[in-house]
Structure 1
Amino acid sequence: MGWMTWQRFRCQIDCHNYPDDCISEKLIKRTANKLVLDGWRDLGYRYVIIDDCWPERKRDSKTNEIVADYKRFPNVSCYLLSFVCGA
Protein backbone atom coordinates (compact mmCIF):
# COMPACT_ATOMS: atom_id res chain seq x y z
CA MET A 1 0.00 0.00 0.00
CA GLY A 2 1.04 3.58 -0.33
CA TRP A 3 0.22 7.23 0.12
CA MET A 4 -0.39 9.39 -2.95
CA THR A 5 0.01 13.18 -3.08
CA TRP A 6 -2.99 13.62 -5.39
CA GLN A 7 -5.53 12.28 -2.90
CA ARG A 8 -4.89 15.08 -0.41
CA PHE A 9 -3.10 17.90 -2.20
CA ARG A 10 -4.26 17.58 -5.84
CA CYS A 11 -2.01 19.88 -7.87
CA GLN A 12 -1.18 22.56 -5.33
CA ILE A 13 2.08 24.11 -6.52
CA ASP A 14 1.77 27.57 -4.96
CA CYS A 15 4.39 27.22 -2.23
CA HIS A 16 4.39 30.96 -1.56
CA ASN A 17 0.77 31.11 -0.39
CA TYR A 18 0.49 27.47 0.75
CA PRO A 19 3.94 26.51 2.05
CA ASP A 20 2.68 23.49 4.01
CA ASP A 21 0.30 22.19 1.35
CA CYS A 22 2.20 22.49 -1.92
CA ILE A 23 3.68 19.51 -3.74
CA SER A 24 7.33 19.80 -2.74
CA GLU A 25 10.32 18.04 -1.27
CA LYS A 26 9.35 19.43 2.13
CA LEU A 27 5.89 17.83 1.88
CA ILE A 28 7.27 14.45 0.79
CA LYS A 29 9.81 14.37 3.62
CA ARG A 30 7.20 15.40 6.18
CA THR A 31 4.79 12.73 4.93
CA ALA A 32 7.42 9.97 4.90
CA ASN A 33 8.30 10.81 8.50
CA LYS A 34 4.65 10.82 9.51
CA LEU A 35 4.02 7.42 7.92
CA VAL A 36 6.79 5.99 10.09
CA LEU A 37 6.14 7.91 13.32
CA ASP A 38 2.39 7.31 13.29
CA GLY A 39 2.80 3.59 12.61
CA TRP A 40 1.43 3.49 9.06
CA ARG A 41 4.55 1.79 7.71
CA ASP A 42 4.01 -1.04 10.18
CA LEU A 43 0.46 -1.41 8.86
CA GLY A 44 1.72 -1.93 5.31
CA TYR A 45 2.15 1.54 3.85
CA ARG A 46 5.40 1.14 1.93
CA TYR A 47 5.15 3.70 -0.87
CA VAL A 48 5.07 7.48 -1.14
CA ILE A 49 3.78 8.27 -4.61
CA ILE A 50 4.44 11.70 -6.10
CA ASP A 51 1.59 11.42 -8.54
CA ASP A 52 1.53 14.65 -10.47
CA CYS A 53 2.61 18.29 -10.48
CA TRP A 54 6.26 17.69 -9.60
CA PRO A 55 7.83 18.70 -12.93
CA GLU A 56 8.55 22.02 -14.53
CA ARG A 57 5.84 23.19 -16.90
CA LYS A 58 8.19 22.80 -19.88
CA ARG A 59 10.50 19.97 -20.85
CA ASP A 60 14.26 20.30 -20.99
CA SER A 61 15.05 22.32 -24.12
CA LYS A 62 17.98 20.11 -25.14
CA THR A 63 16.84 16.59 -24.24
CA ASN A 64 13.06 17.08 -24.30
CA GLU A 65 12.91 15.15 -21.02
CA ILE A 66 10.51 15.97 -18.23
CA VAL A 67 12.47 17.64 -15.43
CA ALA A 68 11.63 18.33 -11.81
CA ASP A 69 10.71 21.79 -10.62
CA TYR A 70 13.95 22.52 -8.80
CA LYS A 71 12.40 25.32 -6.74
CA ARG A 72 10.10 22.82 -5.06
CA PHE A 73 12.38 19.77 -5.39
CA PRO A 74 15.96 21.06 -5.07
CA ASN A 75 17.30 17.61 -4.15
CA VAL A 76 14.96 15.52 -6.25
CA SER A 77 17.42 12.84 -7.29
CA CYS A 78 19.05 10.33 -4.99
CA TYR A 79 18.78 12.45 -1.86
CA LEU A 80 14.98 12.47 -1.70
CA LEU A 81 14.74 8.80 -2.64
CA SER A 82 17.29 7.88 0.02
CA PHE A 83 15.44 9.94 2.60
CA VAL A 84 12.09 8.29 1.91
CA CYS A 85 13.56 4.79 1.74
CA GLY A 86 15.45 5.31 4.97
CA ALA A 87 12.59 6.98 6.85
Structure 2
Amino acid sequence: MHSSELTFEIEPRGDAWTISFCHEQNGTFIRRVDAMRSAIGEADRIYRLGHSVRIVVDRPLRMGEKLPRRVLHPHYA
Protein backbone atom coordinates (compact mmCIF):
# COMPACT_ATOMS: atom_id res chain seq x y z
CA MET A 1 0.00 0.00 0.00
CA HIS A 2 1.27 3.45 -0.90
CA SER A 3 1.76 5.71 2.10
CA SER A 4 2.79 9.32 2.42
CA GLU A 5 2.92 11.82 5.26
CA LEU A 6 0.12 14.36 5.08
CA THR A 7 -0.06 17.49 7.21
CA PHE A 8 -3.06 19.53 8.29
CA GLU A 9 -2.21 23.01 9.58
CA ILE A 10 -4.54 24.95 11.83
CA GLU A 11 -3.73 28.65 11.56
CA PRO A 12 -5.20 31.91 12.81
CA ARG A 13 -6.82 34.12 10.16
CA GLY A 14 -7.89 37.40 11.71
CA ASP A 15 -10.45 36.56 14.39
CA ALA A 16 -11.03 33.04 13.03
CA TRP A 17 -9.11 29.80 12.44
CA THR A 18 -8.59 27.91 9.20
CA ILE A 19 -7.39 24.43 8.28
CA SER A 20 -4.81 24.27 5.51
CA PHE A 21 -4.28 20.98 3.70
CA CYS A 22 -2.24 20.54 0.51
CA HIS A 23 -1.60 24.30 0.46
CA GLU A 24 -5.31 25.11 0.32
CA GLN A 25 -7.53 26.58 3.02
CA ASN A 26 -10.37 24.25 3.95
CA GLY A 27 -12.92 25.78 6.26
CA THR A 28 -13.09 28.70 8.63
CA PHE A 29 -13.95 28.27 12.29
CA ILE A 30 -14.67 30.78 15.04
CA ARG A 31 -12.97 28.68 17.72
CA ARG A 32 -9.61 26.92 17.47
CA VAL A 33 -11.04 23.83 19.17
CA ASP A 34 -13.67 23.49 16.42
CA ALA A 35 -10.96 23.60 13.77
CA MET A 36 -8.99 20.99 15.72
CA ARG A 37 -12.01 18.66 15.97
CA SER A 38 -12.67 18.95 12.25
CA ALA A 39 -9.03 18.32 11.33
CA ILE A 40 -8.78 15.34 13.69
CA GLY A 41 -11.89 13.77 12.19
CA GLU A 42 -10.59 14.08 8.64
CA ALA A 43 -7.04 13.09 9.62
CA ASP A 44 -8.35 9.97 11.35
CA ARG A 45 -10.19 8.96 8.18
CA ILE A 46 -7.04 9.44 6.10
CA TYR A 47 -4.92 7.59 8.71
CA ARG A 48 -7.24 4.57 8.43
CA LEU A 49 -6.56 4.57 4.67
CA GLY A 50 -2.88 3.91 5.48
CA HIS A 51 -1.30 7.34 5.37
CA SER A 52 0.88 8.93 8.00
CA VAL A 53 -0.91 12.06 9.19
CA ARG A 54 -0.06 14.87 11.55
CA ILE A 55 -1.88 18.00 12.59
CA VAL A 56 0.12 21.13 13.33
CA VAL A 57 -1.74 23.66 15.45
CA ASP A 58 -0.60 27.26 15.72
CA ARG A 59 -1.03 29.03 19.02
CA PRO A 60 -3.19 32.15 19.29
CA LEU A 61 -1.34 35.19 17.93
CA ARG A 62 -0.79 36.67 21.38
CA MET A 63 0.86 33.40 22.55
CA GLY A 64 2.75 32.50 19.35
CA GLU A 65 6.08 33.87 20.47
CA LYS A 66 5.91 32.21 23.88
CA LEU A 67 4.73 28.70 22.98
CA PRO A 68 5.75 26.36 20.15
CA ARG A 69 3.29 24.97 17.63
CA ARG A 70 1.42 21.91 18.85
CA VAL A 71 1.61 18.67 16.85
CA LEU A 72 -1.20 16.10 17.07
CA HIS A 73 -1.42 12.62 15.58
CA PRO A 74 -4.99 11.40 14.98
CA HIS A 75 -4.39 7.90 16.29
CA TYR A 76 -3.34 9.39 19.65
CA ALA A 77 -5.98 12.15 19.83
Q: What TM-score range do you get, normalising by the shorter chain?
A: 0.3 to 0.5
Bigger strand fraction: 2
Bigger helix fraction: 1
Which one has a bigger Cα radius of gyration? 1
**TM-score under structure 1 length normalisation:** 0.42
**TM-score under structure 2 length normalisation:** 0.46
